[in-house]
Each structure stands twice: as structure tokens, then as C-alpha cells.
Amino acid sequence: MRLESGAASQIVLEADAPIRCITPAGPQAVSQQALSAKQILALVGELAADEDKPSIAAAKGIRFLYSWNDQRWLVSQEAEAPALRLMVRKWVEKATPDDPATPATQQHLRRRASDRPFGSFENEGSARTAMESLLREQVRRGAADLHLRVGERPILRMGGDLIRIEEHAVLDDGVVSGMLWSIMPDRNKAEFDAAWDTDFAHEIAGVSRFRVNVLRDRHGVAAVIRTIATTTVTVEQMGITPEVQQLCALTKGLVLVTGPTGSGKSTTLCALVDLVNRSRSDHIITIEDPIEFVHQSKKCLITQRQVGVHTQSFKSALRAALREDPDIILVGELRDLETIAIALETAETGHLVFGTLHTSTAASTINRIVDQFPADRQDQIRVMLAESLKGVVSQTLCKKIGGGRVAAREILLVNKAVSSMIREGKTVQINNIIQTQKKLGMETLNDALMHLVKNKTVEAEEAYVKSAEKKDMASKLRALGYNLDGLAAEE
């Protein structure tokens, strides 16, 4: 075999072409007969393990390890090739940037090399110790996130900036995968093996809870780990206005907290649920993925369910919740049409529903919900929203002067005027209503940002960058004498 002898670096199996070897002198054919795609798939299908055969049957995403003569060989598909093309080369256990180990391949390697289930570590205990040492450092420094990447030192997000832990060694794939494998629940190991992404929660008693997202990139296994406070936060600590707090006294309706990823939606929802928990005697059901803040029942009874652990999906849990005597339901994410539809129906039928969406303003939140539905249902959804939507809090996190971050919140409280705009599809006018109803507790995002600038809490440039209506924001900042040269090109 030319690969084993070192005479060739790779074998190329390409549809409608002879088998070729890549040698120092260039490609060399090793057969005269051209192989069809069907013949190539049949050939590699005999080499692959059962768990790799679905990708071969689909002729898509083929990547597996084949053991022969005490060596391992990587069979991988070139995704960019116009026709089916597979490459075969000797597998090197330590991944390099130009030869990454995908999670599927890494997992396959573990199955065939059970003596090294934790990468570069001797056992699960040493891998877990290393992982939790980094997590403790994350908490000690007050970092919001920890990024783990092959070829990089561990990176912390602090005050909105990414900061490398310079005293830590550069991570290789064995270290990253070993540490993550040591804290990953079995369910998530199976999910990661199949989908190459997974989310789960991890807790170090007396230190903190963490939300862990594990993924793959071109270098191998990677992760982003977010710190979750072990204690719930209050509306007072979060600076949530009395008008928004009044939404927690409702007996039915839909309240949405929106914003981009990492804007603190979960923390705001935690504060609202805590207020309900302290002030009402009701049953609260939360549906999350994963569970972040852990609530202890106070005046309320609290039931917390995690998607994939306690229920199959958001929509199935939300549908089942109606038979579980709820008063308040929190849906961690309104991900799809069916979940949104059930949430609207639930809010209409005598329950208070809290939910989140990844939208930046109140008006765009309403449009996002309506646009999820087919055109022939959108008028009906506008009517349902006009009746059930009670409030939208859209927030973004800004870097504070001197360090740390603060939330700027747009607040829409639905009254008769807003309901009329929603019903008639005139969401473009909602911003005007917010501006003219400030005495009711409403506030646009730009006004919230300007308040932070005037109080010297954030820089003018930061407020401009975080604004969703940049032309209006630039005008307001210039009126205060701020120079936005170089930034206002985005207007």
C-alpha cells in the first residue's frame, strides 16, 4: 500500500475517474478503470462502521476512521468538489490547523481507542479538575464567558472585551475535547456525536452554574461557557422600572423580553420570575434549554423543565403545561411557528406567558412573530397579538465607562393605541407611540441610550454603535456636542 510505505500522501477516489495517489511527483493513476459514484460508495461502505453508514448512504458529510494493519486511516469527503470525491490519508491523532479533527471523527476515535477516552488526560478525574480550574478562574475574574479553541489560550470575555489567559498554555484538540467530555452529560455526548453541537448546564457547588455550548470548527472541538449566577437576581438589582414590574401582576397575556444573543434576556426574565415568586401564590412552569437560573419556591410553586432532559421540545412541553395547572409559564425561547402559536393561545386563555425572541426593537418583535406565519394566517395572528401582547422589553448590553456592562432597555406597554396599530399592521408607527407615551413608562431604545450617555455611564460612541436607529441617535448626540466623525458612516 503506497500510503503505508510513505510513497504517497493521499489516495483520491473520485466519481468517473480512476483511483489516484498523490505523490511528491504529482497525481498518479493506480487503476485504469474509472469508478462510478455508486461503486465508490459501495467500496467505502465496506470499510466504515455502522454509525458512519448513514452519511455514506446520503453521499454527504462522509468522514470516518478505518483501522488497518495497526494504523488508522482517515476517509473524508471533499464538500466543495463538483462530483463525489473522497480522500484517504494516514490519521495523525493530534490535529493540526490544516487537518482538523471533527467531533464526529474525534468521537469515532474514542470508540476505537477506549484507552484514551479523555484526550490528553489520563482519566476523567484529571480532565475534570483541569476544566473546573478554568471555570473557577472565570468566576474569580468576574468573566461573563470562557472561550475554548484549539490553537489558542483560554479566552475570557470581561466587560465586553475578549482577554486571553496568557499564563495558560495553548490548547490542543486532546485537551479541549478531554476537558469538555469530562463534564458533558451522556445525553449530550450522543447529541454532539450526531449533530456536532450541544448545550448543557454544569454546576460547581459553592462556585457557580454555567451554560455550556460545545461546537466544532475547522480546528476541532470548541466551546463557549457562560457564567450563571448561583443566586437569583431581583428587579431592584436589575434596575427594572416600576411600570415593567407591574406586568408581573397580570393574570393573563404575553410578555416578551428580546434582544441579541448575550444581551441579558435570561437575567431579566429571572428577575421578573423572582418578583412573581415573592409577591404571588401561583404555580410557575419554566421551559428552558438548558435551565440557567435555579429558582427555589417562595410564595409560588415553581416547576422547572429542561428541553431534552425533562421534555422533548419547547412546543411539547408548552402543550403539556396546559394540563399541569399553571398560572404563569416561562418559555425560554420562542423558536418556531408552532411554539409561538401555542404561546399566543395560552396567553389568550387565562395564563401569563413570558418568552424571549432575538429581536432588537419592539416593532421588529411584532413583525417577527407575524412573519413566522403563512400569509393567509397573518391577519388572524395580528388580532391575537393585539389582544394578548401586554409588553415588550427589548434590551442590549453596553460597555460602561470604567468597566462592566449595563443594559439599555426599550419598553413597550401595550394600550389601546398600540393594540390598534398591531391589529391594523401599522407597526411602523409604534415607535411614535412609545415616544409620546413616556408618562406611562414607555421608552425608546435611543432614549434609554441617551439617558446612559447623559449620566456618563457609557460613551457616546458605544451608545451610537448599540443603537438600532442610528440616524436619529447621531442627531441626538450631535445636539449634545459629540463628534461622531468616522462612526456616522453607518447612518
Domain end residue (candidates: 228, 258, 290): 228
Residue 101 lies in a domain: no
> Are 165 and 202 contained in the same domain?
yes
Residue 26 lies in a domain: yes
Using CA atoms, how far apart are residues 55 and 64, in angstroms rounded to an integer? Answer: 10
Give pLDDT, residue 281. 97
Domain end residue (candidates: 206, 228, 250): 228
> Are 369 and 302 contained in the same domain?
yes
> Are 214 and 245 contained in the same domain?
no
Residue 290 lies in a domain: yes
Range of the domain at 215: 124-228
Residue 110 lies in a domain: no
In angstroms, the Cα distances linking 25 to 33, 86, 427, 480 are 22, 20, 66, 69
Q: In this structure, is the dihedral angle defined by the CA atoms of residues 352, 358, 364 and 368, taken in order, positive or negative? A: negative
What's the whole-model pTM score?
0.71
Phi, psi angles (nearest 5°) of residue 348: -75, -25
> Are 245 and 224 contained in the same domain?
no
CATH of the domain at 422: 3.40.50.300
Q: How far is CA 272 from the centre of its chain?
A: 22
Residue 474 lies in a domain: yes
> Are 240 and 224 contained in the same domain?
no
| Element at 395 (helix H, strand E) | strand 389-399
Using CA atoms, how far apart are residues 227 and 145, in angstroms rounded to an integer? Answer: 6
Counted domains in the chain:
3
Q: Is 81 left (phi over 0), alpha (psi -120 to 50) or beta?
A: beta
The sheet carrying 352-357 orders its strands as: 301-306, 283-288, 328-331, 352-357, 253-258, 389-399, 405-413
247 is written with which cell numbers? 406586568
Using CA atoms, how far apart are residues 442 and 411, in angstroms rounded to an integer? Answer: 5
Give pLDDT, residue 100. 44
> Are 193 and 251 contained in the same domain?
no
Give pLDDT, residue 55. 84
Using CA atoms, how far apart are residues 315 and 334, in angstroms rounded to an integer? Answer: 9
> Are 258 and 134 contained in the same domain?
no
Of 489, 485, 448, 455, which Cα lies nearest the Cα of 470? 489
Residue 149 lies in a domain: yes
> Are 224 and 247 contained in the same domain?
no
> Are 268 and 376 contained in the same domain?
yes
Residue 268 lies in a domain: yes
Contact 227, 157 (CB under 8 A): no
In angstroms, the Cα distances linking 326 to 197, 286, 296 are 32, 10, 17
474 is written with which cell numbers? 447621531
Contact 454, 464 (CB under 8 A): no
Residue 327, helix vs strand vs coil: coil
Give pLDDT, residue 44. 84
Domain end residue (candidates: 185, 212, 228): 228
CATH of the domain at 218: 3.30.450.90
66 is written with which cell numbers? 478505518
Give pLDDT, residue 111. 39
Long-range contacts of 305-308 (CB under 8 A, 24+ apart): 306/201, 307/332, 308/187, 308/191
Give pLDDT, residue 74. 83
> Are 449 and 467 contained in the same domain?
yes
Residue 109 lies in a domain: no
Give pLDDT, residue 117. 54
> Are 181 and 35 contained in the same domain?
no
> Are 336 and 405 contained in the same domain?
yes
Q: What is the pLDDT along the chain (491 residues), one digit of tens a residue?
A: 455 555 666 788 888 888 888 776 667 777 778 888 888 888 888 888 777 788 888 888 888 887 766 667 788 887 766 788 888 877 655 444 444 444 444 444 443 333 445 667 878 889 999 999 999 999 999 999 999 999 999 999 998 889 999 999 999 988 999 999 999 998 888 888 888 899 999 999 889 999 999 999 888 899 999 998 778 899 999 999 999 999 999 999 999 999 998 899 999 999 999 999 999 999 999 999 888 889 999 999 999 999 888 998 899 999 999 999 999 999 998 988 999 999 999 999 899 999 999 999 999 999 999 999 999 999 999 999 999 999 999 999 999 998 889 999 999 999 999 999 999 999 999 999 999 999 999 999 999 999 999 999 999 999 999 999 999 999 999 999 988 876 654 44
